[in-house]
Structure 1
C-alpha cells in the first residue's frame, strides 16, 4: 500500500514526501499525464534538496502518482504560453534544478518507473543513481519533434547511456521499449508489473538504508565526477531551449501537438 494519501486531481499537481526507516520517498503528480509545469519543477527541486539534507534519510526514492505515464515531460500548456526568451530560459531551468538537486544529493536516488517516460522525464531518470521500470515503460526524447532539442537533459542522459545512445534518442524521436533502455543503462532493472516493481524498489531501498552512508556519499561523488560545472552548462542549455521555443516552427509544432 502506498504511504501517500490518495490523489487529489487538482489542476496544479503536487509533490509529496514520506520518510520511514531511512527511506525518503518523493512523489510528484500532475493530472495531465504527470507533465511538469514550472511550479511542480521548482517544488520538486526544493523537495529533493530538503529531503537530501535530512540526516535520517539514507536513500531517496523518486516516483510519480497515478497509473498512467511516469512522466510526460514538459507542460505543453506552459510551453505554448512562453512569450519571451527569459521566460523560456526560466522554464527550462526548472529541469536543470531538479537534475542538479538529484546528482548533488549525498544519498543514492532510486527512480520507480511505472509507465512511459517522455522528454524531460528521461533526464530525471538519467539523474537517478539506480532505476527500476516495468516492461511497459517505454521512453523517448520528443523534443526535436516539436522544434526544440533535449538540451538541458542532454548532458545527464549522455553521461548515463553514452553519446551514441543519446544521439539515437535525440535524432529519432520515437519510443524505445524498456528492454532497449535496460541494455543502454537508462534502466538498471526491468520487471514485469507494478507489484514486482514495488517489491524490487522496496528491497533495494531497504538494503541501501542499512548501508554505510559515508561510503554511499563517496560513491555518489565518484558517479557524478565531471559535473562540477553543470550549473553553468545547464543554464546555457536552458537559454538555447528558451530561444527555440519562441520560433514560429516550434510554436506551430506545439499547437499541432496540443490539437491531436
Structure 2
C-alpha cells in the first residue's frame, strides 16, 4: 500500500514526500503519462535535495504516481513552445538538476519503475543507485526520433550501462524490454508484477536504511567518482538540445508525436 494519501493530480502534476523509519519517499506525477515539464523538474530537483538533507533520512525511494508509464520524459507541449536557445537550454537543464541532485545525495536512491520509461526518464533511472522494475517496464531513448539527442542524460546513462549499451539505445531509438535493461545494468532487479515490485522496494529500502550512513555516503562518492565536472558538462549538453529543438526538422517531428 502506498504511504501517500489519495490525491487528485492537478493539470500541472505534483511532487510529494513522505518520511518514515529512515526512508524518504518522493513521488512525482503528471496527468500526461508522467511527463516532466519544467515546473515539475525544478520541484523534483529541489525536493530530492531537501530530502537528502533531512537528518533522519537514510535512504531515498523515488517513484511516480498512477498505474501507467513510469515517465514519458520531456513534456512535448513545453518542447513545442520553446522560442529561443536560452529558453531551450533552461528547459533541458531541468533534467540536469534532477540527475545532479540524485547522484550528489549522500543516501542511496532506490527507484521504483512500475511502467515504461522514455527519454529523460531513462536518465533518472540511471542516476539512481538501485532501480527495481516490473517486467513490463520497457525503456527507450526517443530523442533522436524527434530531431534532438539524449545529450543531457547521456553521461549518466553511459556511466551506468557503458558506452556500447548507451549507443545502442541512442542510435536505435526503439523500446528495450526489461530483460535487456536488467542485463545491461539499468535495472538491478526485475519482478513479475507490481505487488512483487513493491515488496522488493520495501525490503531494499529497509535493508539500506539500516546501513552505516557514513559508509553509504563514502560508497556513493566512489560509485559516482568522475562526475565532479558534470555541472558544466550537463549545461553544455543542455545548450545542444536547446539549439536543436528550434530547428524546423525537430518542430515538425514534435508536432507529429503530439498528434499520435
Could you state the TM-score of these two structures normalised by the residue count of structure 2? 1.00
Shift of 1:5: 1.8
> Counterparts of 1:200 and 1:143 in 2: how far apart (Å)?
31
More displaced 10-residue stretch of structure 1: 20-29 or 6-15: 6-15
Structure 1 unaligned residues grouped into runs of 5+:
none
Superposition pairs for residues 10-21 of structure 1, below 5 Å? 10-21=10-21
Segments of 5+ residues of structure 2 without an aligned counterpart are: none
Matched, 1:199 2:199: yes
User: Does 1:168 find its partner at 2:180?
Assistant: no
> What SS is found at the alignment partner of 2:112?
strand
- Give the number of aligned pairs: 260
1:93 — aligned with what?
93
Task: Give the whole-Å Cα distance in 2 for the aligned partners of 1:79 and 1:40.
Answer: 14
The 1-side partners of 2:228 and 2:10 are apart by 38
d(CA) in 1 for partners of 2:7, 2:142: 27
Report the secondary structure of 2:165's partner residue: helix
Q: Cα distance, 1:7 vs. partner?
A: 3.3
CA distance in 1 between counterparts of 2:248 and 2:4 reads: 42
Structure 2 residue 230 is matched with structure 1 residue 226 = no
Q: Answer yes or no: is 1:217 the counterpart of 2:241.
A: no
The Cα shift of 1:208 comes to: 0.8
- Rounded to whole Å, the distance in 1 between the matches of 2:57 and 2:9 is 29
The alignment's TM-score, normalised by the length of structure 1, stands at 1.00
Q: Secondary structure at the match of 1:207?
A: helix
What is the RMSD computed on CA atoms of the aligned residues? 0.4
> What CA distance in whole angstroms lies between the structure 1 residues aligned with 2:34 and 2:191?
21
Q: Distance in 2 between matches of 1:38 and 1:5?
A: 25
Distance 1:45 1:72 in 2: 17
C-alpha displacement of 1:9? 2.7
1:58-77 → structure 2 map (5 Å cutoff):
58-77=58-77
The superposition leaves residues 132-161 of structure 1 with CA deviations (integer Å, 9 ceiling, x where unpaired) of 000000000000000000000000000000
Residue in 1 aligned with 2:123?
A: 123
The more displaced of 89-98 and 1-10 is: 1-10
CA contact (8 A) 1:7 1:65 kept: no
Q: 1:200-230 CA deviation, whole Å, 9 max, x = no partner?
A: 0000100111110000000000000000000
